[in-house]
Amino acid sequence: MVIKDIKTGIIRIPLVTPFKTALRTVEHVEDLIVCVETDSGETGYGEAPATAVITGDTLGSVQTAIKDFITPAIRGMDIMDMDGIQRKLHSCILKNTSAKAAVDMALYDLYAKSLKTPLYKLLGGNAREIETDLTISVNDIPQMVSDSLEAVKKGFSILKIKVGKEGFQDVERIAAIREAVGKEVRIRVDANQGWNAKDAVRIISRMEDMGLDIDLVEQPVKAHDFEGMKYVTSRTFTRILADESVFSPEDAIRICAERAADMMNIKLMKTGGIYEALKICSIAEIYQVECMVGCMLESKIAVSAAAHLAAAKHIITAVDLDGPSLCKIDPYEGGPLYDGAKIVMNDTPGIGICRVPVTFS
Ligand code: MG
């Protein structure tokens, strides 16, 4: 099964409500879809969003990387030579992790299809079902309380609250949400780099003193502020999760070896796909640092690729794959079942998406 061509197209899906973090506000998923074609007529699908504020990638840059660099580098290679293809994919252009991720997942889709097995089983997994949290966007307090209650009503028992815009007012937000949803709901807090190290320690300590019982705090300080991450991690009891601070396996080694965070958030768009994400899982296993698998504003192709990874690895103990839940419609056919907080894997070979309503060129 030889790679013949890589085609791309755009999918646009409205969100149920605008997605707001300390970094941006977005109303649509607008992602590049990748279709890798083989000489035997098989197709593998991948997807990449343009998350310029985090990865630096735009739809145009993703498309150019695929058309001008990745396609010529791997065209003509046999899909069974996965290791060889991956070496080419990751050496033909620097960075451009979203483009690499989209192609990587399409390759794994094809690889698993050719072996007639669902991807999570190929990756060594046996978990039929995983549970995701749901993101609550940054808004005024009454809105966030009502969004949180709505999420709990829909069956989500883990909420990921976006904060980081207003320092100590963030504590009031979390306190109001905790009071409204009660003790049983797990609350995660994502500051998206919105605090400095000293404020982060004050804010997190305050939440600890108030007994708000926070599951973890994600990326309190700037991505490049490695010392700041270490400062916060060593001075608080709450688990600190590195997100924007960890893209590559090299980042993961440094985070783990220097204990700069208690957990790491693996996202395919940061690692450049599953192949590199597996390396981070191995590093995390060695250091016994638990991982979250997360997503950007992605629809069901990319999120499902991440779900297969999550279902395959025990070191992944937290799942933040709410992309499809945030979308107003599901335009695809096939793939894992997204049933509220539950993501149910099935035995369809590959990632499982079989119909993609996109015009490829
Ligand atoms: Mg995050």
Q: Of 20, 160, 267, 270, which one is the catalytic site residue?
A: 267
162 is catalytic: yes
Distance 113 CA to ligand 1 centre (A): 31
- In this structure, what token pair is assigned to residue 75? 């065209």
Distance 294 CA to ligand 1 centre (A): 8
pLDDT, average across residues 20-35: 90
154 is catalytic: no
Report the pLDDT value the prediction gives residue 116, as an integer from 0 to 100. Answer: 98
List pLDDT tens digits, range 88-116.
Answer: 999 999 999 999 999 999 999 999 999 99
Distance 135 CA to ligand 1 centre (A): 10
Going by C-beta distance under 8 Å and a sequence separation of 6 or more, which residues neighbour residue 289? 255, 256, 261, 262, 263, 264, 283, 315
Q: Of 162, 230, 270, 300, which one is the catalytic site residue?
A: 162
Distance 320 CA to ligand 1 centre (A): 9
Going by C-beta distance under 8 Å and a sequence separation of 6 or more, which residues neighbour residue 258? 226, 230
Report the pLDDT value the prediction gives residue 310, as an integer from 0 to 100. Answer: 98
**What is the pLDDT confidence band of residue 167, given thresholds at 50, 70 and 90?**
confident
Distance 111 CA to ligand 1 centre (A): 30
